[in-house]
Amino acid sequence: VSNVTPYCTEEENCGENIHCCCTLSDPFVLTSALIFFCHSSTARTCNMILVVLDAGKPLTHKKIIEAELFSFGIRMNQKPPKIKIVKKENGGIGYQEIVKQTKGMNSDVARVILKEYRISCAEIILREDVSVDQFIDVLEDNRAYIPVLYLFNKIDSITIEEMDILDAMPNYVPLSSQHGWNIEELMEEVWSRCNMLRIYTKPKGQIPDYDEPVILHSERNPSIEEFCMRLHKSIILEFSHALVWGKSAKHQPQRCGKEHILQDEDIVQLCKKSGG
């Protein structure tokens, strides 16, 4: 999985390009390691952070990790708020609410905050119900919005009652690395939360290559053209059509043009203009 960087402190290799780490028992050492991590470029460019915790221990480390990531501008499991702030040369402060605000934001609060940032002329549009902290995050313009998944390892060592407590927590996957429990479920969760698609190539007259899928991001609504460009830029110049098997195909296979939007685990056979 390219660019998926889970984090902890004692590194162990859990698969190709996925590096999971386990939290240390000393909170001071854990905090120091987190500070080092947050200052690295990895913290802001990764597709996902995986936090591996011991299911049999208290959630102290979880709270430490969350506090440190938040203090360094990483917003866990959040999306950028729909706030538009356009600075202007003149005209004062313009304030518009598309959605009613119930979390403390209003025109007066916005003006006070902008004054603290020495902004006297700007146009503000709030397209969703946001908090004061979210408004400040947009002003700071240096926040990273990254999905975080908590992996509770060693579930084979806890009781059913303790499992029920974990089940009430959001954004978590229970597993046992020793017994191999829930590993496939973990991989599916990572794929889903990172919004990545696996597209398999199929050479003419051969079976699909399931070992090395082409990875595309679902947020871009990837087309066959983007698929071709990911393989090689020259392919699109000779492109005639594609045969597609999978979720995006109306029938198996479907003859498609370069505008066809692909879905996860589609199989694509490219055909050249010459009929190859």
Q: Distance between CA atoms of 124 and 133, rounded to whole angstroms? A: 15
Residue count (the chain): 276
Q: Distance between CA atoms of 112 and 126, rounded to whole angstroms? A: 16
Question: Topology of 196-272 in CATH?
Answer: Ubiquitin-like (UB roll) (3.10.20)
The token duo for 182 is 């829930």
Beta bridge partners of 272: 239
140 class by beta-carbon count within 10 Å (0-12 exposed, 13-18 middle, 19+ buried): exposed
Q: Is the pTM of this model over 0.75?
A: no
Residues in the chain predicted with pLDDT less than 50, given as ranges, are 1-25, 276
Q: Distance between CA atoms of 233 and 239, rounded to whole angstroms? A: 11
Question: Topology of 10-78+144-193 in CATH?
Answer: Rossmann fold (3.40.50)
pLDDT tens sequence across 46-72: 788 888 888 888 788 888 888 888 988
pLDDT at 31: 57
Beta bridge partners of 53: 152
